[in-house]
Amino acid sequence: MHFIAIIPARYASTRFPGKPLAKLAGKPVIEHVYEQVTKVLSEAWVATDDKRIFDAVEAFGGKAVMTRADHKSGTDRIEEAAEKIGTEADVIVNVQGDEPFIQPSQIKTLCSLFDNPSTQIATLGKPFSSMEAVKNPNSPKIVTDNNGFALYFSRSVIPYIRGEEEAVWLDRYPYLKHLGIYAYRREVLREVTQLPQSSLEKAESLEQLRWLQNGYRIRVGITDVETVGIDTPQDLERAEKFMQQQC
């Protein structure tokens, strides 16, 4: 099976404009992401709407493709990039351009989910370590069926544990945090980007609910590795300290 990665990276960001080009340990954030991805997948592309990011990727020897600036999601940007590249890959892996600590083991886990021919879309979940984290609406939760397919994603605490004090909920159910890495079969990516926004997606502001609501199946792999995304300049400072500690 042929896999490629496409890394969406736009310049505009309300909280951190230009973050793919921000320096982390002397290199642009996007370069760290690219290096991590290509440890597993031999072909990777950065899909961007900004010439500065395009030039930076080519400068470090990566592959980049220019896309429109008006995409509403990274998935839409990836579909345009896939069309422009003319890829014949069976599966396209979507790694966010602000995830410099994405681990090879996570990408391998994601790709392995396509060994099951019924997998249309794949993503990852990580067990929560505290109830405080479970209650954070910025950390979407996943509920799966017995075969590892997603039943629902929510910013709310799901499931609700009836008849138990909240302090013990984490002992009663293995709450899963959703990590924003996806992979799609090529034809499925083409299809889901043609779908209009769904009512559940609008309610929770979670794009993957559009796919579930339209009957697509999302298989969930489990990882114990926490990713460290960069959304703000403060996140970048913490990432720099984290990298220094690893040296």
- Asked if 125 contacts 220 with a C-beta cutoff of 8 angstroms, the reply is yes
> CA 228 → CA 143, 225, 233, 235, 242, distances in Å?
22, 10, 13, 8, 10
Instruction: With a cut of 90, say whether residue 9 has pLDDT above it.
Output: yes
What is the Cα–Cα distance from 234 to 172, expressed in whole angstroms? 35
Nearest partner of 84 among 48, 56, 52, judged by Cα: 48
Q: Does domain 3-235 bear CATH number 3.90.550.10?
A: yes
Across the range 83-106, mean pLDDT stands at: 95
pTM score: 0.93
Segment 231-238 mean pLDDT: 89
SS3 content of the chain, % helix, strand, coil (to 5): 35, 20, 40
Q: What percent of the chain clears pLDDT 90, i.e. is strictly above it?
A: 86
Tokens of 33: 């992401």
List the Cα angle 23/24/28 in 5-degree steps.
50
Whether residue 246 has pLDDT greater than 90: no
Q: How confident is the model at residue 12 (pLDDT cuts 50, 70, 90)?
A: confident
Alpha-carbon torsion angle 149, 152, 158, 159, nearest 10 = -60
CA–CA separation, 110 and 58 (whole Å): 27
Residue 100 pLDDT greater than 90, yes or no = yes
Assign 13 a pLDDT band (cuts: 50, 70, 90).
Answer: confident
Q: First vs last Cα of the chain: how many Å apart?
A: 36
The DSSP call for residue 147 is T
Q: Flag whether pLDDT at 234 surpasses 70.
A: yes
Give residue limits of the domains in the chain: 3-235
Q: What are phi and psi of 41, to 5 degrees?
A: -110, 130
- pLDDT 10s digits, 30-45: 999 999 999 999 999 9
What average pLDDT does the chain have?
94
Q: What is the pLDDT of residues 101-145, one digit of tens each?
A: 999 999 999 999 999 999 999 999 999 999 999 999 989 999 999
Amino acid identity, position 190:
R
Confidence of residue 223 (pLDDT cuts 50, 70, 90): very high
pLDDT score recorded for residue 214: 98
Encode pLDDT of 133-157 as tens digits.
Answer: 999 998 999 999 999 999 999 999 9
Q: Which residue has the higher pLDDT, 22 or 228?
A: 22
Rounded to whole angstroms, the Cα distance separating 43 from 55 reads: 18
- 160-210 pLDDT, tens per residue? 999 999 999 999 999 999 998 999 999 999 999 999 999 999 999 999 999
Query: What's the confidence (pLDDT) of residue 231?
Result: 84
